[in-house]
A = this chain, B = another copy of it.
């Protein structure tokens, strides 16, 4: 029983080969969009269908096992949920990288939030990465 099986069970999901495949690709790759995920998962499970991929992504998002990362001007990415962090998004190669970030410090700099019940924060730095410059 590997890590991903445990993760799935902890989130009340059956541990199917397809799901374990999805999670292991995501774990290796970091942030990934549906299209690339499909190409890669097919290498281990050639019979997997796009519908299965979409259904599972949706399910794992609802269970908070995955987190959606919306970036401007390119496809939605998904990552395995982890500690708070910020993202750098390269507008040329579309790569997304994690950076350490303390949300507590940021909250001190906020303006008027007027009764808003805060659940989560997304911080994305947009620009050009080292390789693309």
Binds B, one of A1-9, A31-39, A45-53, A125-133: A125-133
User: Which residues of chain A (6-38) have a CB below 8 Å from chain B?
Assistant: none
Interface size on A, residues (CB 8 A): 40
A122 pairs with B126, CB closer than 8 A: yes
Closest to A121 in B: B125
Min C-beta distance of A115 to chain B, whole Å: 4
Contact (A119, B114) CB under 8 Å given A72-B68, A106-B109: no
Contact (A112, B127) CB under 8 Å given A70-B72, A72-B68, A122-B72: no
User: A110 contacts which chain B residues (CB < 8 A)?
Assistant: 86, 99-101, 125
State the CA gap A120–B106 with chains docked (Å): 17
**CB of A80 within 8 A of chain B?**
no
Min C-beta distance of A11 to chain B, whole Å: 18
Q: Interface of A with B (CB < 8 Å)?
A: 61, 68-73, 86, 88, 90-91, 99-102, 105-106, 109-130, 133
